[in-house]
């Protein structure tokens, strides 16, 4: 993947992203609602090494891409994308931005860039994201770009010592084209 926008580039993670990646992936506020735990430097390095061997297009595999500020080429976040194993025209995504770069519109720009790439170039039929009901920033982001809330799972996931609830959001290619 290589998405170039005015303020951001989205590309594969690289080994020289390590310090910037670890800076936010070691922050418990960032991982609070995610399937990841905080990482130490070694775990972050192993994670990036593992990702550099992956590329878009393998159904069932999460691939993590780097979100880079165009101004200075600095990694400020990442985006995970997975093609469903039994239908690779259906994609799941998740976005993370370093807190120092939140509330600046970078997440929204990145999400719109990824949606355009998936729908227009890759001809994906449907993009979805499952989000913790308490993850208000993520809910706001998804709704700001037009994702539809289509599901509410109640205490469906055992997470951080208790059962949590999730919303499912989705957008279809034909909704994007409207």
Using CB under 6 A, pick the residue from 1, 30, 39, 83 that binds ligand COA.
30
Between CA 148 and CA 36 the distance in angstroms is 25
Q: Is the Cβ of residue 135 or residue 168 nearer to ligand COA in the bound state?
A: 135
Using CB under 6 A, pick the residue from 11, 18, 27, 34 that binds ligand COA.
34
Contact 119, 173 (CB under 8 A): yes
Q: Which residues 102-161 are close enough to bind ligand COA by CB under 6 A? A: 102-108, 131, 135, 137-138, 140-141, 144
Q: Is the Cβ of residue 91 or residue 123 nearer to ligand COA in the bound state?
A: 91
**Residue 112, token pair as written in the block:** 């719109």
| Nearest approach, Cβ of residue 23 and ligand COA (Å) | 13
| Nearest approach, Cβ of residue 119 and ligand COA (Å) | 19
Between CA 123 and CA 44 the distance in angstroms is 32
Q: What is the DSSP secondary-structure string of 44-96?
A: HHHHHHHHHT--TT-TT-EEEEEEEETTTTEEEEEEEEEE-SS-TTEEEEEEE
Q: Is the Cβ of residue 6 or residue 123 nearer to ligand COA in the bound state?
A: 6
**Residue 27, token pair as written in the block:** 């922050």
Binding site for ligand COA (CB under 6 A): 30, 33-34, 94-97, 102-108, 131, 135, 137-138, 140-141, 144
């Amino acid at each position: 993947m290589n998405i170039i926008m005015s303020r951001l580039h989205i590309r594969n993670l690289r080994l020289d992203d390590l310090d910037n990646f670890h800076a936010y992936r070691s922050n418990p506020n960032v991982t609070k609602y995610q399937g990841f735990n905080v990482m130490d430097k070694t775990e972050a390095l192993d994670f990036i090494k593992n990702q550099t061997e992956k590329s878009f297009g393998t159904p069932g595999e999460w691939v993590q891409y780097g979100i880079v500020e165009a101004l200075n080429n600095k990694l400020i976040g990442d985006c995970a994308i997975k093609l469903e194993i039994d239908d690779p025209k259906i994609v799941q995504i998740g976005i993370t931005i370093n807190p120092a770069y939140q509330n600046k519109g970078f997440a929204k720009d990145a999400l719109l860039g990824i949606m355009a790439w998936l729908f227009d170039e890759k001809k994906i039929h449907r993009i979805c994201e499952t989000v913790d009901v308490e993850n208000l920033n993520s809910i706001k982001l998804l709704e700001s770009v037009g994702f539809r809330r289509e599901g509410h799972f109640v205490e469906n996931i055992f997470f951080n010592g208790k059962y949590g609830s999730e919303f499912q959001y989705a957008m279809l290619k034909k909704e994007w084209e409207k």
